[in-house]
Structure 1
Amino acid sequence: MNFTLLGWNFRSTPLEVRDRISLTENEQLELVHHIKASCGIQESVLLSTCNRTELFLYNMERPEEELLEVLQNYWGIPELLQSHYLLREEKALHHLFRVASSLDSMVVGEPQILGQLKEAFGRFHENRLTGRFLYAMFTRAFSVAKRVRTETSIGDNAVSISYAAVELAKRIFEDIRQQKVLVIGAGEMAELAILHLLRTGIHQLKVTNRTFSNAAKLAEQFQASVFPFEKLYSELPDADIVISSTGAREPILTPDRVRASLRKRRGRAMFFIDIAVPRDIDPSVNDLSGVYCYDIDDLQGVVEQNREERKEQSNLAEKIILEEQEKVMQWFETQSVIPLVKNLRESFSETVELELQKTLGRLGSLSEKQQAEVEKMARVLTNKLLHKPSTRLKHLSGREDLHLYLETLSELFDLDPNHSKQESISQPALKLLKK
């Protein structure tokens, strides 16, 4: 199969490192083009979210150690070698299915990861960095995720990092409804945070974003106040709770900025919840008196409460994933005999066609209808003769001694078991895989 997964996620890698390997969309494409050229990779997809950076690779020519060296040089981070995970073949496929089904998420059952995975695949597919293999694997992963959602209740009351952030704020304040909240950002995470905040009864809510129109649209949707990003530091002292989720490459809230806000608040504490990667808030603001700052890793405790509630549904989902994984692996085993079956059919067809033309020449003047009947009979006979051996070969595809059958058949009919004039993974086969 030659399928490899290389990744770093919230379990294996600290946030400080995840910050540094988080990439913009353009940077993701740049990196994949770089490793494709350096390591001879045929197909690639890179998934980069706040909780994971994962490379899905097909048909890599160079050793995996060379890929790690290329990435380490690209990012300039020695810690990459200590915190990565590397999965191959069936284990890589299993991981892809778990990620798509939200079983590998910090918040099990959250729906965002499937959308992020679809978006990542779509972007790399549009840029011609995927091919038939990853197309088949990812579309199958999407259908597995749909089945998990349909056949289990793992998504019922599903929470997200944004939900966990609001839950944390509720624990901090005796009555969160009386607090003034500022949300920085206008993306999906910010939108979800606002949605959950409003459900708690918050009514003093402000929104800002670098692109004012996006913030205004979000504020209008949820009847919140909005102000231009340029006024962030003048508005900051008014906020009791700040939830930040932007795509900034550098912290937008530094100790100096927060210290200035604290002076204007005259001793009133400020709570910051940073759900951005890279982080929006410099972690050293936690050293300031009267400041409590939580980042995405701190939310793990809130998330853990969810895990027990979803354990039973997760077990059902795992069974579905194993079933679907087995189907794919059986399909791959079947693929190992397809080149020989096609070669056998091509050989028979060439012989039949040659003899058919000789026979038609000897028969003399036949009508078009008669000639068509003779040709039809020859082709039907060929298909009937080859049907049983072809079917039998596919049924033998899971056996350890399959190679003996292939070698014997190749020797008997003078065939090359690895050669076919047609592509080894056909469109009908891909359709079968995606069912």
Structure 2
Amino acid sequence: MHVIALSINYRKASVDEREQLNFSDHDIVPALHTLRDQKSILEAVIFSTCNRTELYVVTDQVHTGSYYTRNFLSEYFNIPLETVKNVTELKVNDEAIHHLYRVAAGLDSMVLGETQILGQIRDAFILAQEEHTTGKIFNRLFKEVITIAKRGHSETDISKNAVSMSYAAVELAKKIFTNIQDVKVLVLGAGEMSEETLLNLTSNGVSDVTVVNRNRDNGKQLAERYLGQFRPMDELEDALKDTDIVISSTGAPNFIITEEMIKRVRNLDDERSLILIDIAVPRDIDPNVNNVNNVHHYNVDDLSGIVDDNLKKRKEEAKKIEAMIDTSIQEFLNWVEMQGVRPVIEAMRTKALNIHETTFESITNKLPDLTKREKTIISKHMKSIINQMLRDPITYTKELADERKGAVQLTELEHIFGIESIVEDIHKRQHESLQAIDKLRKEKQNVRK
């Protein structure tokens, strides 16, 4: 089994390129099943955020799995395969696992130590589990990754003065306006990023805030929570006339604020600056708004240059999390290696217990007058003998997980202990279990269609 991570992130892909390979919420489920059904792919998890799209798969062949994972993106978004190769980072096995840990802990984010992505990874994993596109490997790996990421944020100071894209947007606004407390801010959207933006704004003394959102109820609730005003989307143009800063983070597929809209709300001789900060992917604001006099537009790539005062401290805290990650990865890899020898160990124990039951039954038949206490003592000592006899063979078998020729030696052990048929039954049960899960996944997929 091999783990592959295919990443489209801010380091290698521009905002335009990330937008082209971004899955909307309603795309994820069908995409998961399409990816899982690719040749050589056994498990799959997908998540898409404002700054990255990540695909994780378990495959039985590295080259085949890598090709079909990239080809899936190419066909799904109708983009040339060569383009996909140019804008993606492909990591395999240990590197892929290490990448997942770092992403979940916020160590691979544009703003070091962000916490928002952990929840997104957790949600993506839970969805994949519910859709039965994960199995034994990812069920174990993602749970370990989420646990370590949580520990990293709770046991270190990396989350102090938490930095996110919304935080960076407010920091940019503070650099532009000397007295940010006096400006009028319009927040476009009512999701988690918008709430973080409002929290950062109000924490910096901004009191004149307006929330514009397509969903009236969500927008009103968010505005009221931060003592702001709410205006529906059809009043956006009017709201822009009396705004100094716009910070936008919706899930809209197309531009909400266009160059034509800004031209309509701005006078040619308007000397008042309008700052438009777009932290959404896909983008909410047409970059051509920069053509309008005294209008300044920034997107997520522009925010990458903003580094908070605690960056050095965060890097020191990140080293602590890296140490946690290294330990956890080693434990996970040990667990993976053990999966190959577990059927043999289970078979040894199964045969030993069968011998114990048969022998104990023979003893009780020949000695019918044994008391309950005497039977318990005899059974206990028989099990003790068996456990002592198996201790060294089981230890030796576990050590074979690290051996290159382990498969040959495992076969020899099966012959020595006469457990070939038991091992075969165990593998058969495992295979039937995987088939049942796959059948359930496909049935659920067909029902949805």
TM-score, length basis structure 2: 0.87
Amino acid at match of 1:70: F
Amino acid at match of 1:75: F
CA distance in 1, matches of 2:69, 2:162: 36
3-state SS of the aligned residue for 1:5? Answer: strand
Residue 372 of structure 1 and its aligned partner are, at CA, apart by: 5.7
- In structure 2, the partner of 1:170 is 174
The answer to whether structure 1 residue 214 and structure 2 residue 226 are counterparts is no
Aligned partners of 1:338 and 1:424 also within 8 Å: no
- In structure 2, the partner of 1:64 is 66
- Aligned counterpart for 1:350 among listed residues 336, 350, 354: 354
- In structure 2, the partner of 1:94 is 98
- In structure 1, the partner of 2:447 is none
- In structure 1, the partner of 2:53 is 53
Aligned partners of 1:335 and 1:424 also within 8 Å: no
Structure 1 residues 84, 306: closer, same or farther in 2, change over 3 A? farther
- In structure 2, the partner of 1:34 is 34
Q: Deviations over 1:396-418 (max 9, x none)?
A: 54345545643442342344496
Give the paired residue count: 424
- In structure 1, the partner of 2:446 is none
Q: Deviations over 1:191-223 (max 9, x none)?
A: 111111112222221111111111111111110
Residue 333 of structure 1 and its aligned partner are, at CA, apart by: 2.6
Residue 70 of structure 1 and its aligned partner are, at CA, apart by: 2.5
CA distance in 2, matches of 1:210, 1:16: 24
The answer to whether structure 1 residue 200 and structure 2 residue 204 are counterparts is yes
Q: Deviations over 1:151-206 (max 9, x none)?
A: 32111112110010011111112222222111111111111111111122222211
- In structure 2, the partner of 1:44 is 44
Aligned partners of 2:8 and 2:89 also within 8 Å: yes
CA distance in 2, matches of 1:368, 1:54: 64
CA distance in 1, matches of 2:78, 2:307: 32
3-state SS of the aligned residue for 1:297? Answer: helix
Equivalent positions of 1:123-138 (< 5 A) are 123-138=127-142
3-state SS of the aligned residue for 2:149? Answer: helix
Aligned partners of 1:184 and 1:190 also within 8 Å: yes
Aligned partners of 2:216 and 2:232 also within 8 Å: yes
- In structure 2, the partner of 1:146 is 150
- In structure 1, the partner of 2:76 is 74
Structure 1 residues 331, 51: closer, same or farther in 2, change over 3 A? same
Aligned partners of 1:165 and 1:299 also within 8 Å: yes
Aligned partners of 1:241 and 1:272 also within 8 Å: yes
Equivalent positions of 1:13-412 (< 5 A) are 13-39=13-39, 41-59=41-59, 62-78=64-80, 79-263=83-267, 266-303=270-307, 307-358=311-362, 360-361=364-365, 363=366, 365-366=368-369, 369=372, 374-395=378-399, 397-400=401-404, 402-403=406-407, 405-412=409-416
- In structure 1, the partner of 2:441 is none
Residue 44 of structure 1 and its aligned partner are, at CA, apart by: 1.6
Aligned partners of 2:40 and 2:65 also within 8 Å: no
3-state SS of the aligned residue for 1:109? Answer: coil
CA distance in 2, matches of 1:14, 1:305: 26
- In structure 2, the partner of 1:429 is none
CA distance in 1, matches of 2:9, 2:333: 26
3-state SS of the aligned residue for 2:302? Answer: coil
- In structure 1, the partner of 2:426 is 421
CA distance in 1, matches of 2:423, 2:98: 28
Aligned partners of 1:342 and 1:420 also within 8 Å: no
Amino acid at match of 1:337: V
Residue 329 of structure 1 and its aligned partner are, at CA, apart by: 1.6
Q: Deviations over 1:14-56 (max 9, x none)?
A: 1101112222222011111112223353322111101111111
Aligned partners of 1:50 and 1:276 also within 8 Å: yes
CA distance in 2, matches of 1:171, 1:365: 91
Aligned partners of 2:183 and 2:245 also within 8 Å: yes
Aligned partners of 1:8 and 1:53 also within 8 Å: yes
Structure 1 residues 365, 174: closer, same or farther in 2, change over 3 A? closer
Q: Deviations over 1:298-347 (max 9, x none)?
A: 10010376543422112222122112111222222333322211122223
Structure 1 residues 348, 265: closer, same or farther in 2, change over 3 A? farther
3-state SS of the aligned residue for 1:247? Answer: coil
- In structure 2, the partner of 1:432 is none
Q: Deviations over 1:103-122 (max 9, x none)?
A: 11111111111111112112
Superposed CA RMSD in Å reads 2.5
CA distance in 1, matches of 2:227, 2:200: 14
CA distance in 1, matches of 2:3, 2:276: 41
Structure 1 residues 275, 130: closer, same or farther in 2, change over 3 A? same
Runs of 5+ in structure 1 lacking a partner? 426-435
- In structure 2, the partner of 1:431 is none
Amino acid at match of 2:336: F
Runs of 5+ in structure 2 lacking a partner? 432-449
Percentage identity across paired residues of the two chains: 35
Aligned partners of 2:188 and 2:194 also within 8 Å: yes
CA distance in 1, matches of 2:163, 2:269: 33
Structure 1 residues 120, 59: closer, same or farther in 2, change over 3 A? same
Structure 1 residues 218, 265: closer, same or farther in 2, change over 3 A? farther
User: Which sits farther off after the overlay, 409-418 or 21-30?
Assistant: 409-418
3-state SS of the aligned residue for 1:166? Answer: helix
3-state SS of the aligned residue for 1:310? Answer: helix
Residue 286 of structure 1 and its aligned partner are, at CA, apart by: 1.7
Aligned partners of 2:41 and 2:65 also within 8 Å: no
Amino acid at match of 1:41: I
CA distance in 2, matches of 1:40, 1:26: 25
Aligned partners of 1:39 and 1:67 also within 8 Å: no
3-state SS of the aligned residue for 1:39? Answer: coil
CA distance in 2, matches of 1:377, 1:202: 76
CA distance in 2, matches of 1:420, 1:306: 57
Residue 358 of structure 1 and its aligned partner are, at CA, apart by: 4.8
CA distance in 2, matches of 1:36, 1:336: 23
